[in-house]
Structure 1
Amino acid sequence: MKFRQRLAAALCWLPIAAGAAEHHVVIDGMKFSPQVVQARPGDTIVWENRDMFVHNVTAAAASARMSSGDLAPGKTWRWVVPAGPSFDYLCTLHPVMKGHVDVAGPPRRSPAR
């Protein structure tokens, strides 16, 4: 079996990746939209800066350990949601910009085979 075929077969058995969802948050007009993202562990959230200013995505509590660094206009940042509690985030450059990640339930599972 070729390497790519073995890799594809192995990835089919990963329980989280196969059922994970992708959520999109647009940064524009000095706000995050949607402001609340409901996600499960293993899901990916993609923030896209469509504003004319540099922004960042940073967990409000240091324990959440999430920080995008500066996102220039037109840039995106992807982050995989870990298991754990829900948390607030903000743009530290513009603290009036706030959002929330609602981490609900266990990781998504792939359908039974």
Structure 2
Amino acid sequence: MATVGALGLLSACGQSSHSSSTHAGAITPGQGQHQAAGMPGASGPGHAAGSAPGTSPTPSMSMPMSPPSTSTPTSPVAGNAVTIKNFAFAPATLKVKAGTTVTWTNQDTDAHTVTSAGSGGPLHSAALATHATYSHRFTQPGTYHYLCTIHPFMTATVEVTR
């Protein structure tokens, strides 16, 4: 199956049937596919084969090679608030003293939960809508790992000391 879009005709499998030494960076149709107007190698005015040297017949695009950074501090941060934003808990590790109440605030447009990882943990929020909060008072020292059950890749920790 082929996909037709702003960049022309592309093979759905993403493999090229031509040598990389010819037409470096050019997109050519694979076996059984047809040349589309505006593709490199197409003939006629305004096409790559008929373009003046140094000009580009189609707009260029640059794609990031890695996802945008959503880094959060890895060392424990003191305080009593956790922000849920950009599908991450910030700080990723919060350090508090026993007796502290921690409040999570969802600043994403998607709903999130604050739920203890594993069974028997103390954190069990409902799905938090945008701007909703959830609070829990930590009374016992320990390390409490938690996640969003809707988006399990979202994880964080609260470290409780005496």
What's the TM-score, normalizing by structure 1?
Answer: 0.70
Percent identity over the alignment is 32
CA contact (8 A) 1:22 1:43 kept: no
Query: 3-state SS of the aligned residue for 2:125?
Result: coil
Note the C-alpha offset of 1:84: 4.0
1:42 aligns with 2:99: yes
User: In structure 2, what is the Cα distance between the partners aligned to 1:87 and 1:65?
Assistant: 9
Alpha-carbon deviation of 1:22? 5.9
Aligned AA for 1:23? N
CA distance in 2, matches of 1:90, 1:37: 14
Rounded to whole Å, the distance in 1 between the matches of 2:125 and 2:79 is 17
Range moving further from structure 2, 45-54 or 64-73: 64-73
Shift of 1:49: 0.2
CA distance, structure 1, for counterparts of residue 122 and residue 101 of structure 2: 15
Larger RCO (CA within 8 A; separation ≥ 6): 1
The residue number in structure 1 matching 2:114 is 57
What displacement does 1:65 show?
2.5
Residues 84 and 107, structure 2, Cα contact 8 Å, conserved in 1: yes
- Partners of 2:79 and 2:125 in 1: how far apart? 17
CA distance in 2, matches of 1:50, 1:98: 16
Q: One-letter code of the match for 1:83? A: Q
Gaps of 5+ in 2: 1-77
CA distance in 1, matches of 2:80, 2:136: 10
CA RMSD in angstroms comes to: 1.5
Question: Do the aligned residues in 1 keep the contact of 2:79 with 2:95 (CA within 8 Å)?
Answer: no
The Cα of 1:78 is off from its aligned counterpart by: 1.2
Secondary structure, counterpart of 1:95 in structure 2: coil
| 1:39–1:102 Cα contact (<8 Å) kept | yes
Post-superposition Cα deviations, 1:35-66, rounded to whole Å, max 9, x if no partner, equal 11101221010100000100000000222221
Aligned structure 1 segments of 4 or more residues deviating by more than 6 angstroms: none
Q: Does 1:102 align with 2:159?
A: yes
Q: How many residue pairs get matched?
A: 85
State the Cα deviation string for residues 5-47 of structure 1 (Å, max 9, x = none).
xxxxxxxxxxxxxxxx961110010000001110122101010
Equivalent of 2:80 in 13, 16, 23:
23
More strand by share: 1
